[in-house]
């Protein structure tokens, strides 16, 4: 489903990802852990085409993210190519990023209506189902700013799901929440993860949550994968010193 091949990402002089190779199978749920600044967010942003690779290639479903075929030459991807790929991918941000110029319902329906051409009524019906699922059926006509952080994040999750992505990217989606609101969002994501065949890439510092939802954990440090394995193994008997230190630090926090 997703393949990183020798991906290098630099910001100016700073090398954030160093020849990164990994791949994720369809339906697989992978959690990325690692110290702050190790490049986890950058990986998700590259996938969402919010950044471009410096070198190397990323494939999604066999299609290259940065280039496309024209005749039998490879040329840089144009907007249409990017949009074909983005269609498969959804993302939920740490800061929710709900649109403040729309109410909750509209936040969820606008993208299906505008970018997929779904009739508005059908989109609204779907949106109400999603709101039901995230436990906010009564908030459809509220303005986002009148919801708590946890509620806003649940709307953002519904909004991403409304586009029916094959891959969902979650970037520290509970980090900006007050502690008492974290579990509500995590429970929801656990449900979503276990329900379907969604491919999930999740960055989190909540190790319990990571253990619950993921098939595989990737431990990053300084733009490289230092350890890759099932959560039981990584959390209970990490093979690398760096992973042990990191887990210890997270536990102490």
Partner 1 sequence: MTISPCSAELPGTFGEAMPFLCKGAVITLQATLGGSVLAIAIALPVGLMAMSHRGAVRAVARVYMEFFRGTSVLVQLFWLYYAMPILTGFQLDKSFAGILALGLNLGAYGSEVVRGAVRSVSRGQREAAIALNFSPYHRMRYVILPQAFIGMIPPMNNLLIELLKATSLLSVITVADLTYQGRLLVNSGSDQLIVFALLLLIYFLFSYLITLIMRFVEGRAARMVGRDGPQGRPRRAWRSPRPRRPVPSVEIPSVEIPSAETPSVEGAR
The residue ranges that bind ligand ADP (CB under 6 A) are 11, 14, 16, 34, 36-42
Q: How does strand 2-11 pair with strand 14-24?
A: antiparallel
Whose Cβ is closer to partner 1: residue 24's or residue 91's?
A: 91
Gap between the terminal Cα atoms of the chain: 35
Q: What CA–CA distance (Å, rounded) separates 231 from 251?
A: 16
Cβ proximity of 177 and 185 under 8 Å: yes
Q: Which of 74, 50, 66 is nearest to 7 (CA)?
A: 66
Token readout for 207 is: 């190790």
Q: What CA–CA distance (Å, rounded) separates 252 from 90?
A: 33
91 binds, options ligand ADP, Mg ion, partner 1, none, Cβ within 5 to 8 A by partner type: partner 1
> What are the CA-CA distances from residue 145 to residues 149, 219, 237 (Å)?
9, 35, 44
188-227 footprint of partner 1 as x/- string (CB under 8 A) = ----------------------------------------
Strand order in the sheet with 2-11: 14-24, 2-11, 55-60, 63-64
Q: What CA–CA distance (Å, rounded) separates 31 from 143?
A: 32
Residues 26-65 that bind partner 1 (CB under 8 A): 48-50
Which one of 16, 46, 155, 163 is in contact with partner 1 (CB under 8 A)? 163
- Please, what is the minimum distance in Å from the beta carbon of residue 50 to ligand ADP? 9
234 binds, options ligand ADP, Mg ion, partner 1, none, Cβ within 5 to 8 A by partner type: none
Which one of 31, 38, 41, 152 is in contact with Mg ion (CB under 5 A)? 41
42 binds, options Mg ion, ligand ADP, partner 1, none, Cβ within 5 to 8 A by partner type: ligand ADP
242 binds, options ligand ADP, partner 1, Mg ion, none, Cβ within 5 to 8 A by partner type: none
Whose Cβ is closer to partner 1: residue 67's or residue 87's?
A: 87
- Please, what is the minimum distance in Å from the beta carbon of residue 135 to partner 1? 8
Whose Cβ is closer to ligand ADP: residue 37's or residue 56's?
A: 37
39 binds, options ligand ADP, partner 1, Mg ion, none, Cβ within 5 to 8 A by partner type: ligand ADP
Q: What CA–CA distance (Å, rounded) separates 193 from 206?
A: 16
Q: What CA–CA distance (Å, rounded) separates 46 from 68?
A: 16
56 binds, options partner 1, ligand ADP, Mg ion, none, Cβ within 5 to 8 A by partner type: none
- Interface residues with Mg ion (CB under 5 A) are 41
């Amino acid at each position: 489903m997703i393949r990183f091949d020798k991906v290098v990402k630099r910001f100016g002089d700073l090398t954030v990802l160093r020849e990164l190779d990994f791949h994720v199978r369809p339906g697989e749920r992978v959690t990325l852990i690692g110290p702050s600044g190790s490049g986890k967010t950058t990986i998700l942003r590259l996938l969402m085409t919010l950044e471009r690779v410096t070198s190397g290639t990323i494939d999604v479903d066999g299609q290259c993210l940065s280039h496309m075929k024209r005749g039998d030459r490879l040329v840089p991807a144009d907007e249409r190519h990017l949009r074909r790929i983005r269609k498969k991918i959804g993302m939920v941000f740490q800061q929710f990023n709900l649109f403040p110029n729309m109410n909750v319902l509209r936040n969820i329906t606008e993208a299906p209506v505008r970018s997929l051409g779904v009739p508005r009524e059908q989109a609204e019906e779907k949106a109400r189902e999603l709101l039901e699922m995230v436990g906010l059926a009564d908030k459809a006509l509220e303005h986002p700013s009148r919801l708590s952080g946890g509620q806003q994040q649940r709307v953002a999750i519904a909004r991403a799901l409304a586009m029916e992505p094959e891959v969902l990217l979650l970037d520290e989606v509970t980090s900006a929440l007050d502690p008492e609101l974290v579990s509500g969002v995590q429970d929801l994501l656990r449900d979503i993860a276990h329900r379907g065949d969604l491919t999930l890439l999740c960055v989190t510092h909540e190790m319990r949550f990571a253990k619950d939802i993921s098939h595989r954990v990737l431990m990053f440090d300084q733009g490289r994968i230092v350890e890759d394995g099932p959560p039981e193994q990584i959390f209970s008997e990490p093979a690398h010193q760096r992973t042990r230190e990191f887990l210890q630090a997270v536990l102490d926090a």
